[in-house]
Amino acid sequence: MKETAVLERFIEGKGLRHSKPREQILSVFLSIEQHITIDELWAAVRKKHPGIGYATVYRTLKLFAECGLCSEINFEDGTTRYEHSYGHSHHDHLICTSCGKFFEVVDSEIEKLQERLVKRYGFQLQYHRMNLYGTCRNCRVGIDRRAARTGVPVHSGKGRAAS
Amino acid sequence: MKETAVLERFIEGKGLRHSKPREQILSVFLSIEQHITIDELWAAVRKKHPGIGYATVYRTLKLFAECGLCSEINFEDGTTRYEHSYGHSHHDHLICTSCGKFFEVVDSEIEKLQERLVKRYGFQLQYHRMNLYGTCRNCRVGIDRRAARTGVPVHSGKGRAAS
DNA sequence: ATACCTGCAAATGTTTTGCGACTAA
DNA sequence: TTAGTCGCAAAACATTTGCAGGTAT
């Protein structure tokens, strides 16, 4: 099913109403394959549809989340971001701390071990979030070049451990 | 080294000053072995030392973070919490979505697989956060009892996957 | 016509900062 | 005496809500 159909279905099922702002916001949201903040989405929406207010984007994202089109994630820098979730199965995140690039990753072995870990504590797993922070290859090349020029090594061999 | 010594050293090294509020806040913070919000810590501090202001607790926690005594974590519910980090090695979190209890866990195999996963993308890992959400045994017993009484099953067999 | 939806502005909640008084050194 | 620190209040941000007018059904 297409995302627009998912939204329509949800709206009809709940006795809500179709509206242009909702279609427009969905269309812009889908066109941006990134994890964005409400502000960023609002800015993007306004470029095409200047009349739309912040509150509408806010409420519409909540609506999308309800019908499974997007989901909210809190990152370590405190920002709340929204990502596409319809047709996207579970994944974790690889985030470059230098350029900010995101990768969506999955490792089925890790997933299995998480289940095992949790069982040892008598838990029943509902969901999890795993964010891995590091430097991507491109950024390291840049860093190494800079280091070569200045003679100052910029990255340690180990990196720091999360507490 | 004791935590108080870590703080003293840091303060001296930076040319800052010793103060009663800092000692008092540290002492209360250390006495609470939980992941707490600024508000919660402030409330706890005020019970013993009524004069201390919110801003002081706020600034002091940032100071503690700087000298490695605590670290900030953002959870999925949007709250920012502080945990002891001095003398605590890296760990992940197991969180009961029903009673809110926290467990600190580590699985060395998962840690290894994270390294492997990241390398496949050309990344160099710096740190990570992994939070596992589920229901603890105690809560499930409660839930099952309630279900037996009402005849309505409360938890599904699988739970939901994070997006 | 009804009830939902929208944009605006204001309320709420949280994190940060400016400032005069205070205090360690 | 000097400069960092404190508590208060206000500023800065981000998130959420009330409301009057607009719109889909």
Q: Are residues B17 and B51 in the same domain?
A: yes
Parallel, antiparallel, or unpaired: how do β-strands B70-74 and B80-84 relate?
antiparallel
B88, B112, B127 - which closes a domain = B88
- What's the CA A128/C1' C17 distance, rounded, in angstroms? 36
* Residue in A38, A123, A155 to test binding to B, most B beta-carbons within 10 Å: A123
Q: What share of chain B is helix, strand, coil (3-state, %, to 5)?
A: 45, 20, 35
Q: What is the pLDDT of residue B1?
A: 80
pLDDT value of residue A148: 60
Same domain for A101 and A82, yes or no, is no
Task: Report pLDDT digits (tens) over A2-38.
Answer: 999 999 999 999 999 999 999 999 999 999 988 999 9
**pLDDT score of B82:** 96
- Residues in chain B within 8 Å Cβ distance of A121: 94, 103, 105, 136
Say which CATH number the domain at B68 has: 1.10.10.10
* Residue A102: predicted pLDDT: 86
Residue of B90, B91, B126 with shortest CB distance to A134: B126
Distances from the Cα of B4 to the Cα of A87, B1, B37, B75, B81, angstroms: 52, 8, 21, 28, 21
B52 and B101 fall within a common domain: no
**pLDDT reported for residue A75:** 84
Of residues B71 and A152, which shows the higher confidence score? B71
- Chain A 84..113 CB hits on strand D (< 7 A): none
The verdict on A127 and A55 lying in the same domain is no
Model pTM?
Answer: 0.80
- Is residue A115 in a domain? yes
| pLDDT in the model for residue B154 | 36
Q: Which domain holds residue A95?
A: 91-158
Are B85 and B6 within 8 A, CB to CB? no
Q: How confident is the model at residue A154 (pLDDT cuts 50, 70, 90)?
A: very low
Q: Quick check: A92 pLDDT over 60?
A: yes
Q: Are residues B53 and B132 in the same domain?
A: no
* B111 and B38 assigned to the same domain: no
Does B163 fall in a domain? no
Considering B37, B71, B88, which residue would you say is the last residue of a domain?
A: B88
Is A50 touching B (CB cutoff 8 A)?
A: no
Kindly report the CATH number assigned to the domain that includes residue B95.
3.30.1490.190
- Evaluate whether residue B83 is within a structural domain: yes
Q: Which residue is nearest to nucleotide C6 (CA to C1')?
A: A56
Q: Given B31, B63, B88, which residue is the final one in a domain? A: B88
Whether A163 is in a domain gets the answer: no
The helix/strand/coil state of B116 is: helix
CA of B55, C1' of C17: distance in angstroms: 10
User: What pLDDT is recorded for position A67?
Assistant: 95
Average pLDDT over residues A97-119: 93
* Residue A96 and residue A79 share a domain: no
- Min Cα distance B52 → chain A (Å) is 26
From A30, A28, A31, select the one nearest A42 (Cα to Cα).
Answer: A28
Q: What is the DSSP string of A34-80?
A: S-B-HHHHHHHHHHH-TT--HHHHHHHHHHHHHTTSEEEEE-TTS-E
B76 and B122 together in one domain:
no
Q: Which helix (H) or strand (E) holds B101?
A: none
Q: Are residues B81 and B110 in the same domain?
A: no
Task: Please report which confidence band the pLDDT of residue A69 belongs to, taking 50, 70 and 90 as the band edges.
Answer: very high
More confident residue, A151 or B157: A151
For residues B99 and B133, the answer to whether their CB atoms sit within 8 Å is no
Cβ-based contacts of B155 with chain A (< 8 Å)? 124
Number of domains in chain A: 2
Mean pLDDT of chain A: 87
pLDDT of residue A99: 86
Phi, psi of A68 (to 5 degrees): 80, 15
Encoding tokens for residue B90? 């890296």
Confirm or reject contact between B3 and chain A (CB < 8 A). Answer: no
3-state secondary structure of A158: coil
Contacts with A126 from chain B: Cβ below 8 Å: 97, 133-135, 159-160
pLDDT by 10-residue block (mean), chain B, 163 residues = 93 96 98 92 96 97 96 87 92 91 93 97 94 93 62 35 33
Q: Are residues A20 and A97 in the same domain?
A: no
Q: Is residue B8 part of a domain?
A: yes
The beta-carbon neighbor of B105 closest among A74, A75, A117 is A117
Residue A34: per-residue pLDDT: 83
Q: Please tell me which residue, A93 or B156, carries the higher pLDDT value.
A: A93
Average confidence (pLDDT) over A82-108: 91
Closest C-alpha to A20, from A62, A58, A41, A49: A49
Looking at the structure, do residues B52 and B83 belong to the same domain, yes or no? Answer: yes
Least confident of A26-30, A113-117, A150-154: A150-154
Q: How far is the CA of B74 from the C1' of C19 (A)?
A: 31
Residue A112 sits in the same domain as residue A80: no
